[in-house]
Amino acid sequence: SLTEKLRVQSTGGAIYLYAKEAIEPTRLQLQNAKTGEIILVDIAATEASTD
């Protein structure tokens, strides 16, 4: 599941995403806790290069 692959944190109005492994392109639906505004974010992650 995506929750096992992605860590999401927010502070001071910023959102921090950390992928623990590769993630195919997908859309996240986030909600602003203060205003209720819905924010759509398209993400994808690939394995890091070993160069």
Tens digit of each residue's pLDDT (9 = 90 or more) over 3-51? 999 999 999 889 999 999 999 999 999 998 889 999 999 999 999 888 7
Name the residue with tokens 């927010």: 10
Rounded CA-CA distance 10/15 in Å is: 4
DSSP one-letter code for 48: P
pLDDT for residue 33: 86
pTM over 0.85: no
